[in-house]
Amino acid sequence: MDEKIALIDTVKGEFADELIYNIAKVVDPKKIDIVISNHTELDHSGSLARLMHRIGQDKPVYCSKMGLKSLSRHFRQKLNFQPVENGQEMSIGQRTLSFLETRMVHWPDSMFTYLKEQRILFSSDGFGQHYAGHEKFDDEVGEAIMPHAKKYFANILMLYAPLILKLVEKVTGMGLEIDMICPDHGVCWRKDPAKIIDAYVRWSNQESKEKAIILYDTMWHSTEMMANQIAAGLSAEGVDVRPMYLRKWHRSDIMTEVLDAKAVVIGSPTLNNGLFPTLADILTYMKGLKPKNKIGAAFGSYGWSGEAVKIIEKELIAMKFEIIEPGIRVQYVPESEHLDTCYAFGQKIGKAIMG
Ligand code: FEO
């Protein structure tokens, strides 16, 4: 709030009333002079039309050039969209806002707004979390906020990691001093903004730990028996191993674990000459997020045809995972010799991880 009053971004459409009510506790919404839309996705702009109706349809809505295109496709009302250039500055009185295009982090329209005098970066999705609590700042949550930030990165931003590294480089090069980062959802980073920026660099580089994930599903426990022995073999080599039964874990939790795992070992029974459906789900999701620098391996039980392991390997190769051991499969129910093979399989992968 200055000589001009600016509102940066809105909320999902169904929370428009709540947003207007909250604004009204601070200022009469009609007194808002300008609105800035950093991102079109509807968790950020869903209330825009309702809000503009309330504060004045003719008030300017500043957005990126790509934002003009996407906002116009989402809102058919005649709104006064004003595209800004990358680096453009705007005075609102004693304070200056500047705009930084962040194309494809994570939509073409995405941009950040920087409040120069107070050194606040309004970062839209960047550095955000899917976290809603009574806390507004990182220090109010403490270390417990980092797993939320990591989960957000793994599921929303992982595939844009190369662009994020370039963006961090650009921001560092500009000498932008940042005292606070305010994403549109989740808590704001005021205690140590550099901490989340450093974490983004680490996650974008996909630095891995000595850790393996075993993702599997099972029909009659045979693939599960294999998974347990592979886990034991990995563990014997000192690897932090996490077996994840696909019917118990949400795909977003799985990707959070994949982010810093060195190996992803995937097991499926063969069903109707193909994968078990939960495996098809996670492989599709994982492939889209483009994890990098991973060792991959496949295993599974089968009855008579046994295609699943080959299908998994094909997917692992498509994701450019390094396959150090050919996949293993067991017909019907594993016997002790098969379980020994699974254990040894786990050990070989473990040695490669600890290598
Ligand atoms: Fe790109 Fe928070 O939505």
Q: Say if ligand 1 is within 6 A of residue 9 CB.
A: no
Instruction: Give tens-digit pLDDT for 294-322.
Output: 999 999 999 999 999 999 999 999 999 99
Instruction: Give tens-digit pLDDT for 10-53.
Output: 999 999 999 999 999 999 999 999 999 999 999 999 999 999 99
Please report the atom of ligand 1 found closest to the CA of residue 125. Answer: 2
**CATH fold label, 212-350:** Rossmann fold (3.40.50)
Instruction: Give tens-digit pLDDT for 251-269.
Output: 999 999 999 999 999 999 9
Model-level pTM greater than 0.85?
A: yes
More confident residue, 223 or 76: 223
Q: Which long-range contacts (CB under 8 A, 24 or more apart) does 151-155 make?
A: 151/252, 151/253, 151/255, 151/256, 152/128, 152/186, 153/199, 153/200, 153/203, 153/259, 154/203, 154/252, 154/255, 154/256, 154/258, 154/259, 154/289, 155/252, 155/255, 155/256, 155/289
Q: Say if ligand 1 is within 6 A of residue 251 CB.
A: no
Q: Say if ligand 1 is within 6 A of residue 237 CB.
A: no
Please tell me the distance between residue 28's alpha carbon and the centre of ligand 1 in angstroms: 27
Instruction: Give tens-digit pLDDT for 208-267.
Output: 999 999 999 999 999 999 999 999 999 999 999 999 999 999 999 999 999 999 999 999
Report residue 31 as tokens: 């007194």
In angstroms, the CA 209 to CA 75 distance is 45
**pLDDT for residue 94:** 98
Which homologous superfamily does the CATH classification assign to the domain defined by 6-205?
Answer: Ribonuclease Z/Hydroxyacylglutathione hydrolase-like (3.60.15.10)
Are 10 and 43 within 8 A, CB to CB? Answer: no
Average pLDDT over residues 59-74: 97
pLDDT of 76 > 90? The answer is no
**pLDDT for residue 77:** 87
Instruction: Give tens-digit pLDDT for 170-207.
Output: 888 888 999 999 999 999 999 999 999 999 999 999 99
Sign of torsion, CA 222 225 229 230?
positive
Please tell me the distance between residue 334's alpha carbon and the centre of ligand 1 in angstroms: 46
Strand order in the sheet with 60-63: 6-8, 34-36, 60-63, 80-83
Q: Say if ligand 1 is within 6 A of residue 12 CB.
A: no
Tokens 């990182």 appear where?
138
Please report the atom of ligand 1 found closest to the CA of residue 110. Answer: 1
Q: What is the mean pLDDT of the chain?
A: 97
Tell me, yes or no, if the two domains 6-205 and 212-350 fold the same way.
no
Q: How far is CA 124 from CA 67, 112, 166, 234, in A?
A: 13, 6, 17, 40
Instruction: Single out the residue of 330, 246, 321 nearest to residue 291, CA to CA.
Output: 321
Q: Say if ligand 1 is within 6 A of residue 185 CB.
A: yes
Break the chain into its structural domains and give their ranges: 6-205, 212-350
Instruction: Single out the residue of 145, 97, 155, 102 nearest to residue 126, CA to CA.
Output: 102
Please report the atom of ligand 1 found closest to the CA of residue 124. Answer: 2
Average pLDDT over residues 324-352: 98
Q: Say if ligand 1 is within 6 A of residue 257 CB.
A: no
Report residue 252 as tokens: 């977003």
